[in-house]
Amino acid sequence: MIVFDTDIIIWILRNRGDIIKQSERLIEETNGYIYITPIQIAEIYAGARKKELIQIEKLLNSFKKIDINEEIGRLAGEFMNKYRKSHNVELADSLIASSCKVYGFKLWTLNKKHYPMMNDKELI
């Protein structure tokens, strides 16, 4: 099971061919067990243009959703405490990473530097 990071969703919306091919392969390999959190939803809508809303809604509705709970919040806070100053880790990335860790999912991102709390086996 895989979580798509916001950057991947943006590239899909922009029709980047290599990302679309890789996402299709991952969807097939996981039998459609592809997830996002409310964080990706918020980040996508924060940058959305009115003319893109239908396309955005269609894409976001195709993902399974992970709910953020107390355990995820606590772990995200620990990540912030440990990595905010040394790696400029932001709360959104901490919440995404902690969601992946709590559920045991991999994260597909092109921004691996945003996730010092995750090892290579946890990232795609």
Q: How many domains does the chain have?
A: 1
Q: What is the pLDDT along the chain (124 residues), one digit of tens a residue?
A: 999 999 999 999 999 999 999 999 999 999 999 999 999 999 999 999 999 999 999 999 999 999 999 999 999 999 999 999 999 999 999 999 999 999 999 999 999 999 999 999 999 9
CATH number at 58 reads 3.40.50.1010
14-24 CB burial, b ≥16 within 10 A, e <16 = eeeeebeebbe
pTM: 0.93
Tracing tokens 């809508």 back to the chain, one arrives at 45
Strand order through the sheet with 2-4: 64-65, 34-36, 2-4, 106-108
Give the residue numbers spanning the domain of 41.
2-122
**Cβ-based neighbours of 13, under 8 Å, separated by 6 or more:** 44, 52, 55, 56, 59
- Residue 63: its H or E element: none
| Pairing status of strand 106-108 against strand 64-65 | unpaired
pLDDT of residue 92: 96
